[in-house]
A and B are shown apart, each in its own frame.
Chain A
Amino acid sequence: MPEPIEERGAKELKDILLKGAGYGIRMIVPDGISEEEMFLKLDTLSAEALSLGGGLGVVLDLQGRPLSRPSILRLMSEFIWPKGIKVLSWTAYDAATLENLKALGISTGEPVPEKRRKKDKSTPGALLLIRSLRSGQRVEHDGDVIIIGHVNDGAEVLAGGSICIWGRLKGTAHGGLDGSGEHTVVAGLFEANHIRIGTKVSASLNSDMEWWGKPVIITVEENSLVVRKLRL
C-alpha cells in the first residue's frame, strides 16, 4: 500500500528540490541530509538547473534545518556568490536559523510579489541616455528616464517614473507606468501627437496648441493632464 505523499516526501527526500513558482524558483533543502551533504549537493547542482529560471529570482527554503551564522556565510561565499544566484529571500522554520539570518541582515520570509514591490519607496535609479532615439527604438525603465537628445517620430520612452527629454519630443512618452500619476514629463521642444502619464492619456494634440514646438512641463492635476509652457 502506498504511503501518503507527505510521509514519503519527508522520509525519502534526499535531493535538493527546485520548484517553479510565480517569482522564479523555490530551492528546497530537505532536512534529511547533513550539512556537509547539503554543501556537496549544492555544489553539484547542474548549471542547467540553475539557469532554468533565466535570471529569475530564487527563494532558498531551508525547511527546519539548524544553520549557524558561519554556515550561512559559507553558503553565501561557496554557493550563492560564485554561481551568481539572485536570492529573493530565505525561508526557515527553525527559530535559531531565522534569528541568525536576520542578524546577518538577510531578508527572510516569502518574497514580496512584484506589484507590491513597485509601491516600495526605494525607487529604482534614473536612466540617463545621452543620444537621440530614432523611429522604432524604444527605451523602458522602472525609474525616471532622462534623455539628452531627441525622441523622434516613431520612437518610444516608457518610464515607471518621470521623463525628461532635453531635445525634441515627437514620438511617444509614457511616464508613471507605476500608475501613481505623481510623475512629470518635461520636453525641451514639444511636437508629440499624444502624451500619457499613469492612466491619463491626452486627446490628440497638434500644432494649434499654443505650447506646440516649445519647452513644456506636463503633470497630472485633479485627475487630468495639464500641459504648461516651461519657463526657467
Chain B
Amino acid sequence: MDPRIIVITSGKGGVGKTTTTSNIAVALAKMGHRVVAVDADIGLRNLDVMMGLENRVVYNFIDVLEGTCRLNQALVRDKRADTLFLLPAAQTRTKDAVTPDQMEQLCDMLRKEFDFILLDSPAGIEGGFKNAAVGADEALVIATPEVPSVRDADRIIGMLESMGKAPIRLIVNRLRSNLVREGEMLDVRDVLDILAIDLIGIVPEDDSVVKSSNRGEPLAFGDSSPAALAFQRIASRIVGEEIPFPSFEEEQNKGFFAALKKFFGLK
C-alpha cells in the first residue's frame, strides 16, 4: 500500500480537528496500520495533550527540520498501540516557523516510515494552514452544522481544490439531532448541498468526547460511545471499507438517506 498523507482541517477553529486526528489515528493503528499523528498546528500544541502523551514530548518536528535531532528521536511512541506515533509541534514558535519546502521535506521523510500520516492543521482562516497542508495528498474537512462553520469550510475546500488535494472529504461533527429537528441547526443534507463534496462521516455531539480529551485517552481506544463508534466507522471508510451509515443517523436526519445514497453512488 502506498503511504497516504491526509491533512485534517476546517475553516473555523474549535470544530474538532484535533479530536478527529487523535481518534482516527488510534482507530487506524488498531487495525494494524503504521500511523503517525503530526501536530502541524504550531504554537497551539494540543494534539499531545489530547493523546495523553504530553509528558513524553522531548523534541518536536522543527528540531528534526533544523537538524537538532533525528526523526526517530522526535517521534513519541504510544504505548497503548504498537504502531501509533505522535510527532509533536513546537509550542514556542509562530505558525510561519516552517516553510512549505520544509514541510514537504518532513512529509517525504515520514512517507518512508508510515502507512498513514495524519496532519492536524491550523484552521484555514489562520496563517500557517497552507504550510501545514502543502505536503498532504488528501484532505478531511471538519465542519459543524452551523452556517458560519459551513461557509468557512467552503472557503477552505476552494483552497484545497486549488492546491490539488484529492479526495477532499467531509466530516460533520457535533451534530445535535434535537436542534436539527427544531430547525436550530442545519441538517447534514443542507451541509452537503452547500459544500458539494463527499461525506465520510457524521459524529454526534457527545459528552464523552470532552471527558476523554481531558483524560488524554482518545475514545477510539475502546469506548463504545456514539462518537467513538463514529470515529471508528470513519477510519474504516478511509481504508476503503463500505460501512453503511447507521440507522440512528438516518432517523435523525430527514432526507439524510438521500445524501447517504449519493455518497455510495446508489442514486
Contact = CB atoms under 8 A, between A and B. Distances in A.
Interface of A: 132-137, 150, 152-154
Interface stretch (B61-69, B86-94, B150-158): B150-158
Interface in B131-163: 151-152, 154-155, 157-159, 161
Contact of B155 (A132, A135, A150): A135
B196 interface: yes
A135 B196 contact: no
B194 interface: yes
Closest 9 CB pairs of A and B: A134-B158, A135-B155, A135-B154, A136-B155, A134-B154, A153-B151, A152-B154, A137-B158, A135-B151
Interface of B: 151-152, 154-155, 157-159, 161, 194, 196
A144 B157 CA distance: 27
A132 B154 CA distance: 11
A69 to B, nearest CB: 49
Contacts of B151: 135, 152-154
Nearest to B162: A137
Contacts of B161: 134
B189 to A, nearest CB: 14
Contacts, number: 27
A34 to B, nearest CB: 53
Contacts of A150: 196
Most buried by B among A135, A137, A150, A153: A135
A152 B155 CA distance: 9
27 contacts: A132-B196, A133-B158, A134-B154, A134-B155, A134-B157, A134-B158, A134-B161, A135-B151, A135-B152, A135-B154, A135-B155, A135-B158, A136-B154, A136-B155, A136-B158, A136-B159, A137-B158, A150-B196, A152-B151, A152-B154, A152-B194, A153-B151, A153-B154, A153-B194, A154-B151, A154-B154, A154-B155
Which of B154, B158, B159 has the most CB atoms of chain A within a 10 A radius of its CB? B154
Nearest to B147: A153
B141 to A, nearest CB: 12
A136 B194 CA distance: 14
B97 to A, nearest CB: 25
Given A133-B158, A134-B155, A135-B154, 8 more contacts: A134-B158, A135-B151, A135-B158, A136-B154, A137-B158, A152-B194, A153-B151, A154-B151
B212 to A, nearest CB: 32
A153 B194 CA distance: 9
Contacts of B196: 132, 150
Contacts of A152: 151, 154, 194
A66 B110 CA distance: 70
Contacts of A132: 196
A205 B196 CA distance: 25
Contacts of A153: 151, 154, 194
Nearest to A133: B158
A136 B159 CA distance: 9
A150 B192 CA distance: 13
Contacts of B152: 135
A225 B137 CA distance: 47
A218 to B, nearest CB: 22
Contacts of B155: 134-136, 154
A50 to B, nearest CB: 31
A137 B154 CA distance: 10
A50 B152 CA distance: 43
Contacts of B158: 133-137
B191 to A, nearest CB: 12
Contacts of B157: 134
B115 to A, nearest CB: 31
A149 to B, nearest CB: 9
Contacts of A154: 151, 154-155
Contacts of A135: 151-152, 154-155, 158
A132 B194 CA distance: 10
Greatest chain B CB density within 10 A among A137, A150, A152, A154 is at A152
A153 B186 CA distance: 15
